[in-house]
């Protein structure tokens, strides 16, 4: 009698601690007859009704898939809507003769959610390969820093943990900063001075506009006599007046003027042609 009571207690305890079993139809509803019927129907109200019934039947699975992407910067309700759109595409594209619906629907729905993140939430257009690297790097950093007090993982540690190269890890780390952007008008403050991000950007160098002309004239300038080259240097690089050049070289101002005019004409002719 005591043995029977003890066994009964163990049975009851096991029943309480063990979670209820989930039946197969709760996660994979029986929908094969509906799909067979769907593919046999022409476009019209009856086919739309069967299609809607299938979508409603599999919608809980789509919502579960959306839940895997929560806490990534997008509202869960929006993710569920995207997953529902993927489910509709899966229902429309499924061929019952190719196997179980869930084998086709899960990657279709998941792909739709990933495309949503790629196309709608990234501030910069990032290739899918780089996005995958970003996700691997993000997960690896989280796993390597799970213990309190653990320093941030280095690129080498992340590479060893993920099996990626350090170059791939670097690309993933850069992509972590590409999910959102700052406006050029955002204010940056250093001490008492404030300025915008746009103020830190460089501007085109006006000297670039004359690079080609300068290089083209270089050979012609080298063929000038030493005195003429020096006159041109003092006039156009030192910005000296003709009077100051004349005084410096012991020439008359009129002579300096003729040298500048003749030298410029010679350079122009040799560079551009007569």
Tens of pLDDT, residues 140-195 = 888 888 777 778 888 898 999 889 998 998 888 887 766 666 667 767 666 556 67
pTM passes above 0.75? no
Domain span(s) for CATH 1.10.10.10 in the chain: 122-201, 210-272
* Dist. CA 58–CA 233, nearest whole Å: 82
Domain span(s) for CATH 1.10.1740.10 in the chain: 26-121
Contacts of 121 (CB under 8 A, 6+ apart): 73, 74, 179
Sign of the alpha-carbon torsion through 225, 230, 235, 238: positive
Between residues 202 and 10, which one has the greater pLDDT? 202
* Dist. CA 18–CA 176, nearest whole Å: 41
DSSP string, 208-250: GGGHHHHHHHHHHHHTS-HHHHHHHHHHHTS---HHHHHHHHT
Q: What is the DSSP letter of 200?
A: G
- The 3-state DSSP class for residue 180 equals coil
Predicted pLDDT at 41: 87
Phi/psi of residue 29, nearest 5 degrees = -60, 150
CATH topology of domain 26-121: Rna Polymerase Sigma Factor; Chain: A (1.10.1740)
* Dist. CA 201–CA 81, nearest whole Å: 41
* 246 close to 253: Cβ distance less than 8 angstroms: yes
The helix (H) or strand (E) run that includes residue 32 is helix 32-40
Nearest residue to 87 via CA among 120, 111, 115, 118? 111
- Look up residue 157 and give its two tokens: 């540690």
Q: To which residue do tokens 């179980």 refer?
A: 100
- The 3-state DSSP class for residue 72 equals coil
Question: What would the CATH number be for the domain defined by 122-201?
Answer: 1.10.10.10
Q: Top-level CATH class of 210-272?
A: mainly alpha
Tens of pLDDT, residues 121-149 = 665 666 778 778 887 888 888 888 877 77
Between residues 146 and 253, which one has the greater pLDDT? 253
Residues 240-266: what's their mean pLDDT?
91
Residues 224-245: what's their mean pLDDT?
91
């Amino acid at each position: 009698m005591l043995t029977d009571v003890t066994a009964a207690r163990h049975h009851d305890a096991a029943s309480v601690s063990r979670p209820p079993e989930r039946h197969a139809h709760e996660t994979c509803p029986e929908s094969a007859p509906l799909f067979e019927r769907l593919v046999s129907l022409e476009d019209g109200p009856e086919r739309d009704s069967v299609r809607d019934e299938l979508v409603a039947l599999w919608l809980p699975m789509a919502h579960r898939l959306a839940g895997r992407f929560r806490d990534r910067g997008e509202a869960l309700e929006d993710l569920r809507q995207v997953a529902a759109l993927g489910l509709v595409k899966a229902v429309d594209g499924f061929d019952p003769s190719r196997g179980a619906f869930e084998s086709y629907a899960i990657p279709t729905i998941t792909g739709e959610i990933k495309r949503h993140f790629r196309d709608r939430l990234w501030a910069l257009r990032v290739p899918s390969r780089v996005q995958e690297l970003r996700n691997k790097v993000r997960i690896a950093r989280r796993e390597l820093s799970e213990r309190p007090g653990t320093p941030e993982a280095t690129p080498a540690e992340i590479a060893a943990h993920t099996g990626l190269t350090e170059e791939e890890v670097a690309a993933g780390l850069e992509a972590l900063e590409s999910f959102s952007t700052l406006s050029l008008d955002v204010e940056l403050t250093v001490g008492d001075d404030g300025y915008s991000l746009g103020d830190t950007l460089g501007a085109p160098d006006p000297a670039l506009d004359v690079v080609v002309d300068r290089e083209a004239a270089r050979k012609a300038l080298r063929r000038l006599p030493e005195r003429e080259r020096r006159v041109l240097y003092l006039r156009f690089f030192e910005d000296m007046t003709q009077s100051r050049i004349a005084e410096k070289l012991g020439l008359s101002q009129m002579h300096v003027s003729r040298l500048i005019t003749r030298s410029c004409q010679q350079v122009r002719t040799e560079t551009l042609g007569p």
